[in-house]
Amino acid sequence: MLKRCVVKKHFGLLLVLCLLFQCFTIFSSPSKVEAASSAVSAIFGGGPFVTGGQPVMNQLKASGFNTVIIWSVHPHPNGDLYINDELVCQNGNYVGDPAWATAWQSLKTGTTSVTRVEISIGAWGCSDFENIQALINANGTGSNTILYRNFLALKNATGADAVNFDDESLYNVNTTVQFGQMCAAMGMKVTLCPYTSSSFWSSVKSQLGSIVDRVYLQCYDGGAGNSPSSWKSIMGTNVIPGLWCLHSGSQGDSASSVKSKLTNWKSSSEGGFIWLYDDLMKLSSPNSTADYANAINSVFTTTPTPTPTPPTSNNIALNKSATANQYVTNETPDKAVDGSIAGYGYGNSKWCSDNSDAVKWLKIDLGQTYNISRWVVQHAGVGGESTSYNTKDFKLQKSTDGINWTDVDTVTNNTSNITDRTVITFSARYVRLYITAGTQTTSNIARIYEFELY
């Protein structure tokens, strides 16, 4: 079963080519990687899908997953909508961080494997559908109701193509059907994510008809004993089985295990989904985000991992030797070039200086001389930390011997989560990030989640 809010959940999602065309027109961005078939490869995510910023979205766009499910939306008794613990919609308006909406809406634009976004509602231990029932009983589902207006605001903010239903407590067919019809009235499909109560789910699907275009099946944790073939018979359609990636040590499925299980279930399935990106962030290849997407795609011969734009494909600083004049325990220089942006509470993969010397530096030995024309710094906000911790003043420097340095580029008064700058091509073996103001405040601690060179 799907776990409560900040814990765990399960869901899944599907790809419809007409929605693909709508995505192009709504978001007016054409450089898509198109699927070879209609099979679904979906990924659920919690906190990182909200506070992780553009770097998380960029990883999803390059992953090979064609469906992203934002987990989990919680309607409150007064109609306010929260994503996990963050208020996002109130009084018919989106009130969350504007940067979140910008990031969500970028998922289906540019070079990307993502063609569909869903928002997920419900989970074990939540009263989401009970609150929906009370709101519908009191006010109905008309376009002037707070329930309708807030969900329309969330649809517009996220670019959602569908709403994923994960009711694990109420199981009221009439309420669920009315709510599904409301979602359809604002232009969204409905997807179902059962792990038990088959008669309830089959009744909902039957009454909503073509509004439901996908059935995700939880095949892990509380739903570990579910058989896709049995649920195919119950629901009258192929299902999309979901598995939990490796987590908490040896629990869950590796990418190769996902591929093996989906191969056995292929005749009853139209794809697969992975729970949970929050846990994937802590893994490394061969169990990284792209590895799990490929495990699904290779079974169903669907969307390949897209070819990134050239700058993104050649981060020459990745996993190179990194040193610094300062660092604190467990936040060492190598974490600034490990390819991970795991945020605070999700692995905390960053280099963090102490507060002693005013000047901080991070030096990368590339091992040989390279021609470099672009550099990227991912600051504290990328990891979900306060943007007041974003590095303010810093330089890019080059060296042929690692001792004598020459300035290449200078940034002052930065407030952004990400610095991405193109420079006149230069040659160097050693490159240094030289920081003179570590934050927006009087604190001088530098926090760098990734330092990239192209």
pLDDT in tens, 43-87: 999 999 999 998 899 889 989 999 999 999 999 999 999 999 999
Residue 278 has pLDDT above 70, yes or no: yes
pLDDT at 77: 98
Reduced DSSP (H G I as helix, E B as strand, rest coil) percent helix, strand, coil of the chain, to 5: 30, 30, 40
Cα gap 386→97, rounded to integer Å: 13
Closest CA to 14 of 246, 241, 244: 241
pLDDT at 344: 55
pLDDT at 346: 54
Is the Cα dihedral 268, 271, 277, 279 positive or negative? positive
Mean pLDDT confidence for 25-46: 60
pLDDT at 260: 96
pLDDT at 355: 82
Higher per-residue pLDDT: 135 or 341: 135
Cis? peptide before 286, omega within 30° of 0: yes
pLDDT at 293: 93
pLDDT in tens, 89-127: 999 999 999 999 999 999 999 888 999 999 999 988 899
What b/e readout covers 279-306, taking b as 16+ CB neighbours within 10 angstroms?
Answer: bbbbbeeebbbbbbbbbbbbbbebbbbb
Whether 321-453 and 40-300 are alike in CATH topology: the answer is no
Closest CA to 205 of 216, 191, 218: 191
pLDDT band at 7 (very low <50, low <70, confident <90, very high): very low
pLDDT band at 13 (very low <50, low <70, confident <90, very high): very low
pLDDT at 1: 54
Residue whose token pair is 């530096």? 361
pTM above 0.75, yes or no: no
Chain-centroid distance, C-alpha 288? 13
Class of the CATH domain delimited by 321-453: mainly beta
Residue 302 has pLDDT above 50, yes or no: no
Mean pLDDT confidence for 256-282: 96
Mean pLDDT confidence for 272-276: 97
The DSSP element (H or E) to which 453 belongs, if any, is strand 450-453
Closest CA to 270 of 220, 217, 194: 217
The contacts of residue 297 (CB under 8 Å, 6+ apart) are 39, 41, 64, 303, 304, 305
pLDDT at 343: 59
Encoded tokens for 375: 């550099």
- Percent of the chain topping pLDDT 70: 88
The Cα-based distances of 172 to 30, 41, 201, 359 in angstroms read 41, 29, 10, 61
**Segments making up each domain of the chain, as ranges:** 40-300, 321-453
Mean pLDDT confidence for 324-332: 92
Are 242 and 10 in contact, with CB atoms under 8 Å apart?
yes
Residue 433 has pLDDT above 60, yes or no: yes
Q: What is the fold, at CATH topology level, of the domain defined by 40-300?
A: TIM Barrel (3.20.20)
- How does DSSP classify residue 332? -
The contacts of residue 222 (CB under 8 Å, 6+ apart) are 1, 124, 195, 196
pLDDT band at 365 (very low <50, low <70, confident <90, very high): very high
pLDDT in tens, 191-223: 999 999 999 999 999 999 999 999 999 999 989
Closest CA to 19 of 178, 205, 213, 185: 213
Burial class (CB in 10 A: 0-12, 13-18, 19+), 45: buried
pLDDT in tens, 140-199: 999 999 999 999 999 999 999 999 999 999 999 999 999 999 999 999 999 999 999 999
The Cα-based distances of 393 to 21, 386, 434, 440 in angstroms read 43, 17, 9, 9
Cα gap 115→109, rounded to integer Å: 9
CA angle 365, 370, 372 (to 5 degrees): 100
Residue whose token pair is 């613990």? 85
Mean pLDDT across the chain: 88
